[in-house]
Each structure stands twice: as structure tokens, then as C-alpha cells.
Structure 1
Amino acid sequence: MGASVGDTAAMGYDWISFTTDYGLADGFPAVCEGVIARIAPHARVLHVTHAVPAQDIRRGAAVLAQAVPYLPTAVHLAVVDPGVGTARRPVAVVTDNGVLVGPDNGLLVPAADVLGGATAAYELTEFHLEPVSATFHGRDVFAPAAAHLAAGTPADRLGPPVDPADLVRPPRPVTRAEPGSLITEVLGVDGFGNVQLAATGLDAEPGSRVHAQVGSRSLEAVVGRTFADAPRGEAVVLVDSAGHVAVAINGGSAARELDARSGERAVLLVARASPPP
């Protein structure tokens, strides 16, 4: 709904996307969705994921940034918040293509960049549920703010302005290409056990052999375009649907083999492609 921030501020939003590390074992996502439904019953909630690894801000930021280009114009509610209840700011970040709501801890800015960059930001000091829990700002601070935005409340009524340049950014991943090698970091692991790296390119021909090392563990892989370019049970290095280099095992879990975790150093050593038979 709406093509510009001014229009959407007046009319609201039909969609709220929702990204957290809450998991599904508890009722936390449903409670937040219930708060939204009471304030903005017209808004449809699109659940991106609630399976971000607990407190993994960088993974949450990557998941959100990779999702938002394919979502409708929306309020994007994101909560991965190990600093809940501390001095970290709750914020709404306005872009020309939607508003992001969540903690100012590095979670939101990569997605804001994808949506064209932050044009304004506001600290969330209004429209809280009372009393505000020190441990559940998703329910008491962020969900109400997202819902009021969806209902048409202008962002500048949520609280005082924040300079977008002062918003917290996550650390930039280290990526360095050298002849025959690529040094980078793990961005995260998906539900299939594929290991997504920060690098967005690999200077190697299909069929080249790769020694992939993450932390102290390693495996041998082939450079391919699809998972099936490696025999079943063997590893392949490819560019995934988000444009990142990834290590996968056809029919298996590269994450389990490499014990990969977000932020770990990854090194790919590339050999020449095998000659045709």
C-alpha cells in the first residue's frame, strides 16, 4: 500500500513482516501478533522467520536484508534483542519503501540500505503497552509501534528523531580474495545445513576443486551451479539465491560437517578444474 513515505504515513500499511529469534516452542510470536491484531486488525502479518539463532544479531540482519526486496511495501518488525531492557534504543527506521521497527543494535540498517536507505529515524517513546516489561519489548514496545504505523500513525509521532547516521551498523564481514584462495566469514546457516558466506563471488571455474575450511574443520568440494553438481553425499561450492558463496552437501548438511557458526572465519582454497575425461 502506498508508493511513498508521505502517502503510507497517512494511509498506513496492509502488511507487517515479522522476524525474530523467538522460536516456536513458546507463545511469544503469537502474543506479538495478538497485540498487532488489537491495534491494526486490517494488517496481515507475514512471518519471515522466528528461527534466527538466539541472540545472533548479524544472522538476523542478513535474513531480513535478503528477504525485504521480495516482500510487499510494509512495516518490517524485527526483534533479535540480546540487549532488551538496557540503554539500547528502540527505533523506527523510515525508508522510501517501508519502515523497519526494532532495536537499534545493527539488526535494521542492512535492510534499510536494501530498501533505498534510511530517510529518517525515531526513538520509540510513545504507544507502549503499560507496564513495559524489561524482558519483552517485542510485545510492549515494538509490536505496538509496528501496529500503529500500519494503522496510519505517522512515524514522527512515535518519538523524538534520531539521526540516521547514528544508527548502529553490524560489523562489516571480512572478505579478501587472493590468487587461489578466498578468505571470508560465515554469514549463517539455513535449515538445510547450507553454509552461507559473506563473499559474493568466487574466481573459480565449474568443476574446480575447493578445500573449504571453517574454524578448525574442513571438507573437499567441487565448484558448481546447483546442489546436484556434486554426487549425493559430497560437497559443492556455489552462489546461492541471495548471491552469496555457499558451501553445501548434496543430500546432507555442510553446517554439521563444518560445525559452522555465524561470524567464523572461512577459507576456500581453489585448485584448477579437472580436465575432461
Structure 2
Amino acid sequence: MKKSKKIAILGLVNSGKSTFLAALWHILKNNKTKASLAISALPENSTYLTEISRSWLQFKELSRTPTKRWYENPLTLKDRANEKEYDILIPDLAGETFFHQWFHRQWQGKYKSLVEESSNYILFIHPSVEKPELLSVVRRAYSKRFNEELPAEESPEEPTIKVWNPEKSPTQVILVELLQFIMQFKKSKIRIAIVISAWDLVNNDPLCKFKLPTNWLNGNLPLLYQYLTANPEYFCFKTFGISAQGGDLQTQKAQLLEHENASERIIVASDTDTSNDITEPIKWLMEEI
């Protein structure tokens, strides 16, 4: 007997949502790839998924999802391990949609319905997050403690007053509020797959101390991590590091082209292992809490 699941995708602009879907669609349609999940029935209309998947295969940068478009992407998937089938819906919404929701405190009626009907979410986060600025008093104490000089503009006694720019708001503040919006409409525990996209940037960064996805989340977005871990009655989450492209298209294209099977360039990391199986977050979401 098939089970129906709705998976809501969350993520700000350029967080990797569409690239993930493009690679996912290629993997599901490619029988040569040994993924945990297989497609059991093709959707009536797969034009959007086919277009972005073709661009992914051709190493093209995917264009942003149009703000006013709503791609529902209904799929029937089968778990290869137990033959269970699931009807899932994975809408692809523009990242601007979530920023506007946070800034204007309003959301689309369609998205509100999806939130109310779903208990499964994928939250995408790009490694280049917007981090909070230290308050001047904290900067001064820090610089004094470690004998560091303050920047010239911060040397005067009176700190410079800056006009608030919402686009410079810390990523973790926005994401926590987006989750708080959701919890206002949920009466049961929800399951969230946290996906750190462009994971190759983390792997290739010699200065990055956090090489495990959960450690990266805790180290770079502590407010979000603490919010999730402090509310176990509301959230069950698992963190993944995923590079759907496998590397930088500008500097590593030749290296990526060496793979005979396109799926081999995909990187999927958890805290315990690494694979090329981009269906892992969805498989985990399909499990029972």
C-alpha cells in the first residue's frame, strides 16, 4: 500500500534547492545509478525537472526559480530495500519567496496549505551564510583580549551607526523565524533534513574546522542548531552535506568531466559516511518518527 508524503523545501536565494532537484531527477531516471530510492511512476508533467536536469548534465549554472512560479513536482518513489512506495510532492519555490515571507510577515496561500499538510521538510543552506556582526563593545573586548587592532573606522570611542539592511540580516535569524512560522501551524513533531549545499566548498577549504555536517551547522549557525536541539518535542532533524554539482563549474569543470557516470560527481556526506546517493535525505524523511 502506498503512503503519501508531502515534502516542503525551504531555503533562501542561491541555497541549492533547484540544483538538488536537477541532480535528483537525473539519478531517479538513470537505472545505472544504485540509489536508495527509485522512481516507480513518472509524473504527468516533468518538463521543469527535465529542463533543469539537462542543464545540470551540461554543467550549466541553473537560473533562479521564477518568483511567481510554483513547480509542484509530484513523484512516486519506491524504497529499493523494502519495496514500499510513496507518493511525494516536492515543490520548488524561489528563495525570494522565503525572504519576503520573513520580511513582510506574509506567505502564499498555497505554501500555507503545504505547511499545514506536510510533516517533512528539507532546509537548504549555502556555506556562504550571512553572519552577524559583533557589537562594537564585544569587538573591543575581543581585540583587547587577543591583542588585535581594531579597523580604523571602529577606533573612535563612539561606534559608527549603520542603517539596518534586511538583506544583511544573519542567515540563522531568518531561518529560525521561518521554522517558528511553521510551528504555529503544526500540532505534531516534524522531520527536517538539513542540507548544507555546495559541500565541496567545505571539503576544499583548508581553514574550515568543521568537516562533519552537524559540526558545521553548530559552528556556523549556532542559533539555528540550538533552536533545533532545544526543542526535541517539535523537531527530529538530521544534517547532510551535499554537493549536487560536485565542484566549482568555473575552476573544476575539467575534473568533473572525467567521471563516466554523472552521478559519480555528486557528494552526499552525513556525520558517519559519504556516498553519491542524493536520495538519502528523502529516504530518511520517509522513515517513521
After TM superposition, is the score higher than 0.5? no
Query: Greater RCO between the two (CA within 8 Å, min separation 6)?
Result: 2
Structure 2-normalised TM-score? 0.30
Which has the larger strand fraction?
1
